[in-house]
Amino acid sequence: MTMINAYAPDSAGSLPERERALIARREKLLGPAYRLFYADPIHVVRGEGSSLYDAEGNRYLDAYNNVASVGHSRPEVVEAMAKQAAVLNTHTRYLTDGILDFAEAFLAEFPAELSHLMLTCTGSEANDLALRVARVHTGGTGVVIAHNAYHGVTSALAEMSPSLGAAVKLGDHVRVVPAPDGYRMPEAEVGAAFARSVEEAIADLREKGITPAALLVDTIFSSSGVFTDPAGFLAPAVEVMRKAGGVFIADEVQPGFGRLGTHMWGFARHGLVPDIVTVGKPMGNGHPVAGAVFRPEVIEAFGKSQRYFNTFGGNPVSCAVALAVLRVIKADRLQENALTVGTEMIDGLRALAAKHELIGDVRGSGLFIGVEMVRDRKLKTPASEETARVVNGMRQRRVLISATGQEGHILKIRPPLVFSSEDATLFLATLDEVLTAL
């Protein structure tokens, strides 16, 4: 399957000799499964704040990397990592202070009902653990996910990640429901329509003798196309799953940590308290740390019947890094910055939509924005080829974004939380230039 915004050798431009040599080395040493971004891949050598730099010293405005949420090479995070690594790094089977210091600070960011934290290395591991716990708690195996969702790369999660492509088969215990697309139906109907789809999926599972275990959704529906509104639309579907005996797993790996501006977590925009929350990506600002947060009653049976151990999950260095990231988010008021700058960007994008017919819809919250590109605003026909040209046109002008949605026709914009008003102005001016050139 061709990945959205992937490098394709047969359609690439003329790359410098150094980059062509690097690509050849990758193919020889790393094999055929990896993918590069952009028609002309970028050779990055360092990052700082909202910027990446190539081997020639050229600056690229990073409007895509949500992993480095508090900015590339953030000094406080680097210092915390180095300081702890110089003293101790071990596993969770010894008593250490750092994991408890972090857990206390981190759980304070959640509703009181969510009070147990387990740490992993990746969001995939966190979602895998969440599924194990959900199955023990409910006695079921069936999982309902959204159209074109992505939840991870383990065998269990790949079976629940249709965005990986048709070659990756979905599990027999998995049911996919249409994304809550407020662009193609009245917003007032989104919640009820999504809940009906979940109800139908549960009925189909039961018809096949499968007991439902969980509704698993990324609360910004990022791979489905970035669907945020109306706030609260997710609540009826969660109620349907709970009535069926299943749990709600909120995948906050992409929307979490203040990115949405209005709230720390995506589930909070919908007025919900999940049964399980999974986190990752921005949690360590590039360091591999992730985890899952549980209601005590949900994890009780799992904890009594089996143990969990992750060699690197919850190690002292990871906990020091995660605590440093959390402190920077709070001290620098980055959630507030996400709301302020994100609102500027959304307003600016809507102004561009009045000028460029290719923009059909602008949606998002804070610094997580989707821009749907269409060939015909009445028919809402996906403009996939044009979107690829926009993404690569931005890259040529050294502004980095990508695309999402099954047709790859939705611009995916999610810069580091340190993105400034000046960065937003540059981004909007560059997009205007690219769209005009089309």
Q: Measuring CA to CA, which residue among 423, 438, 398, 395 is closest to residue 37? A: 395
Q: Which residue has the higher pLDDT, 34 or 400?
A: 400
Question: What pLDDT is stored for residue 19 in this prediction?
Answer: 85
Regarding whether 150 and 248 lie in a shared domain, the answer is yes
252 inside domain: yes
**Average model confidence (pLDDT) across the chain:** 96
> Are residues 32 and 111 located together in one domain of the fold?
no
Pair 15, 116 in one domain? no
Average pLDDT over residues 336-362: 98
Q: Is the pLDDT of residue 12 over 60?
A: no
Given a cut of 80, whether residue 11 has pLDDT beyond it is no
pLDDT computed for residue 242 by the predictor = 98
Residues 124 and 25 grouped into a single domain = no
Residues 121 and 193 in one domain: yes
Q: Is 64 part of any domain?
A: yes
Please, what is the end-to-end C-alpha distance for the chain in angstroms?
27
Residue finishing a domain among 304, 332, 360: 332
Of 84, 86, 125, whose CA–CA distance to 102 is shortest? Answer: 84
- pLDDT confidence of residue 294: 98
Assess whether 315 and 374 both reside in one domain: no
Domain boundary among 276, 300, 332: 332
Same structural domain for residues 298 and 355? no
CATH of the domain at 240: 3.40.640.10
The CATH number for 425's domain is 3.90.1150.10
Tens-place pLDDT, residues 218-259: 999 999 999 999 999 999 999 999 999 999 999 999 999 999
Q: Which of 332, 358, 387 is the last residue of a domain?
A: 332
CA distance 270 to 1: 34
Residues 16 and 57 in one domain: yes
**Structural domain count of the chain:** 2
How far is 332 from 417, CA to CA, in rounded Å? 10
Task: Compute the distance between CA of residue 397 and CA of residue 173 in angstroms, rounded to an integer.
Answer: 45
Tell me, what's the pLDDT at 229?
Answer: 95
pLDDT for residue 17: 84
Pair (17, 165) in one structural domain: no
Extract the tokens encoding 389.
């040209």
Q: Report the predicted TM-score, pTM, of the whole model to 2 decimal places.
A: 0.95
Q: For residue 314, what are the domain limits?
A: 75-332
| Model pLDDT, residue 13 | 60
Are the C-beta atoms of residues 5 and 402 closer than 8 Å to each other? yes
Q: 149 with 289, same domain?
A: yes
Q: Residue 174: pLDDT above 70? A: yes
Does any domain span residue 1? no
Domain presence at residue 48: yes
Task: Tell me the average pLDDT across 267-285.
Answer: 97
What number is the average pLDDT over the span 129-150? Answer: 98
Mean pLDDT of 339-351: 98
Q: Which of 21-35, 162-176, 295-309, 322-336 has the lowest mean pLDDT?
A: 21-35
Same-domain status, 418 and 280: no
Question: SS3 letters for 252-299?
Answer: CCCCCCCCCCCCCCHHHHCCCCCCEEEECHHHHECECCEEEEECHHHH
Residue 214 lies in a domain: yes
| 175 within domain boundaries | yes
- The strand pairing partners of 72, in sequence order, are 49
Q: Is the pLDDT of residue 354 over 60?
A: yes
- Residues 55, 167 within the same domain: no
Q: Say if 254 falls within a structural domain.
A: yes
Residue 3 in domain:
no
The pLDDT of residue 5 is above 60: yes
Phi, psi (rounded to 5 degrees) for 73: 55, 40
Both tokens assigned to 186: 């009245």
Query: Would you say residue 129 has pLDDT above 90?
Result: yes
Among 5-14, 304-313, 410-419, the least confident range? 5-14
Tokens 């410098």 correspond to 16
Query: Closest by alpha carbon to 44, among 72, 75, 24?
Result: 72
Whether the pLDDT of residue 35 is over 90: the answer is: no
pLDDT interval class at 128 (50, 70, 90)? very high
